[in-house]
Structure 1
Amino acid sequence: MHYYYFYYLVIIIFSNSISVFCQKQEQRTYRELITKPIIFTPEYNKIISHVDLPVVKNELSITLKIYLTSHGSGPTWDSVFYKGSMGTSNTPALWLKPNESAPCPRFSFTGHFDAGIDMNDYGFILNRWYHIAYTLSNPDKRMNFYIDGEWVGSLSITQIQGQSIIFNDGPLYIGKPFFLNGFAGQISNFRYYNFRLSHSEVLIDYSGEDPTKHNDNDECLNKSFVDLTIAFFLGIMVMVLGGILFIPKIILRRSYQAIPNPMQ
């Protein structure tokens, strides 16, 4: 009956693999820093300490809704959010171009303090709500930017081996950073994620739902499918190896039981 214990061991290994992968998904979290609309002026800001944000290892995302009441007149660009210390790291950051409020998402990576994209064709219209999503991934070496659920821009690091995104432990400024100006308008539903939102997850956030709850429902079977497949085939390999060890013993035992007793 030893082979029954062997199959029981395989079941334990496979179920534990599923549990481990699901626990990894539970580490994906966020904090909603602003829920109801808050009015911002070029002189007003909201500062969040680094220790009050979800722990970021190599990915992050920010989503928010923004409503502009006027365009900045320059000469400096207006800030929507900025994390870090002036001149060292601005990961992540979002600026608005003067006079037209075109979004300019930025970040820092090895050798480049202020890398990003200028969305000159996407100037925000005044007195209208927009949904913004900013995602950043060091494993992917890439920043993506979305407006109202539509993927509108990205920037990739080209020297994959020698350059990395520079994260920082500075505070997060929403609105005015340091001596620079913030924007004039409102922000609501400002969320700070400790992982990179996929496009489908951006759309979930855009709809007002929670991407992390969506992941808890089915992420373990969808995005971890490859990992679970590997675990399955490892289980098959263990079964085969176990069969090589146990099946000959079972055959010998049955053969022995089939030999007639000469004393009968």
Structure 2
Amino acid sequence: MSDSVSPTQGNESLAPSGVKKTPDHSVPRPTLFSQFRGPFVYNETDEERKKREEEERKKKEDEEKRSNFDKVREKAEREEAARKQAEEERDALRKEKQEREEAERKAAEEKLEEEKQFQTLAEQREAEAKEKAEEAEREKARADAAEDKLKKIEELQEEELAKLLEEIPEEKRPPLDETDSVEKRLKQVRYVQSLLDSGPKPPVGGGGGNGGDDETTDDDRKKELLEAQKKRPLTDEENWELIGLSDE
């Protein structure tokens, strides 16, 4: 524009008309914007306007796209974070459940093993008790059989003892202790009976051509027994023999 253009009414320049106006760079000139078209452009052609509007439209679309993309990205990131958190919680719950089930399984196996051990031990003890009871029954049966056998033997020995005592003269009968066993008493009586069955002894100083060798046989035996008694205890047979020799 040139200064020849007449100013509008009310906007007259205060400078004289002959003075050329110089721009004042100290004060920034505000950019004028249109309400719908953005910055005011002087002498803008239709092509430039369309180009500007197209650029503005694309710019606005790009901004909208970026805004939508950011929203989608942020949403995807939130969903991904939520998904990861849910997966972590799920994995933690699965691990906790697995550990709990494993602990319960081990506890059940240990309990079952203990029950099996107790059952096995109970069965072993029952079998041992049964075996001991059966062994005790067998021992009792053997003891009863031995007792019955011993009683029969003692009965037979008592009968034999009574019979032998009847055959021995009263003055020749050995002194028997009733507290002794029947076997010991029978042994004593049998020995006395054997002495009596050996036949009568020849008379002391009896004649004949025997040189007198038989006269000292019983005395020699008696002396032999007495000498042996000084050195050691005599056996039952030797005691009864000595008693028999002393009574003669």
Larger relative contact order (CA 8 Å, sep ≥ 6): 1
Q: Judge same fold: TM > 0.5, yes or no.
A: no
Structure with the largest fraction of strand = 1
More helix by share: 2
**Which structure has the bigger radius of gyration?**
2
Q: TM-score, normalised by structure 1?
A: 0.21
Instruction: State TM-score, norm by structure 2.
Output: 0.22
